[in-house]
């Protein structure tokens, strides 16, 4: 079942134009539609915990975003379940109330008394995905020759790989320089 965009909307009319007012949030949010993580799969809802604060410039969202992920170990390719987290601090502004010279970041607008968290979720989650996830720190990885998982078994392959372009020179013996 695909979540609709409205599942990521947070009504904030009670905070608008009231600098100093705030509201704690603890939200379970669906994954933004069309989000593709090349190295990971989100396995559950995203969780945003923190506070929405009314400030003169708009609404400030501060908190932590966590997401359960399924990744592949960079060495042995075994599935790894991991929860990643990212701190978020983003200012949402009403485009109609901002000075003409000030830019409002796309996706960080207050529209019809609501915050659409779609852009915030994407911007925080993508860089939080580990670049080289490991199933464990001492993972031995796969054999480059036969593909055996060295965490489970050892193979008889040698670590020396000879480039076939040099095979013709293998028997060559040069005279001693004495």
What pLDDT score was predicted for residue 36?
A: 81
Query: Which residues neighbour 137 within 8 Å (Cβ) at sequence distance 6 or greater?
Result: none
pTM here is: 0.74
CA torsion 59→92→57→10, rounded to 10°?
A: -30
The residue with tokens 């095979």 is 167
What does the pLDDT look like over 98-127, one tens digit per residue?
665 566 677 788 888 888 899 999 999 989
Q: Residue 85 pLDDT more than 90?
A: yes
Instruction: Determine the average pLDDT of the residues in 75-95.
Output: 91
* pLDDT-above-90 percentage for the chain: 40
Rg (CA), the chain: 26
Query: What's the chain's average pLDDT?
Result: 85
What does the pLDDT look like over 117-161, one tens digit per residue?
999 999 999 899 998 999 999 999 998 888 889 999 988 887 666
What pLDDT score was predicted for residue 173?
A: 83
């Amino acid at each position: 079942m695909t979540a609709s965009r409205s599942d990521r909307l947070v009504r904030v009319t009670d905070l608008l134009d009231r600098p100093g007012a705030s509201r704690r949030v603890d939200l379970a949010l669906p994954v933004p539609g069309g989000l593709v993580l090349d190295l990971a799969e989100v396995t559950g809802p995203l969780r945003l915990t923190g506070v929405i604060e009314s400030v003169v410039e708009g609404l400030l969202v501060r908190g932590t975003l966590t997401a359960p992920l399924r990744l592949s170990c960079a060495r042995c390719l075994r599935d790894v379940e991991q929860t990643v987290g990212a701190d978020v601090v983003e200012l949402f502004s009403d485009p109609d109330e901002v000075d003409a010279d000030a830019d409002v970041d796309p996706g960080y607008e207050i529209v019809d008394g609501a915050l659409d968290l779609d852009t915030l979720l994407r911007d925080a989650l993508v860089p939080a995905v580990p670049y080289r996830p490991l199933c464990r720190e001492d993972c031995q990885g796969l054999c480059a020759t036969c593909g055996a998982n060295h965490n489970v078994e050892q193979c008889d392959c040698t670590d020396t790989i000879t480039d076939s372009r040099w095979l013709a020179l293998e028997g060559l013996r040069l005279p001693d320089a004495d």
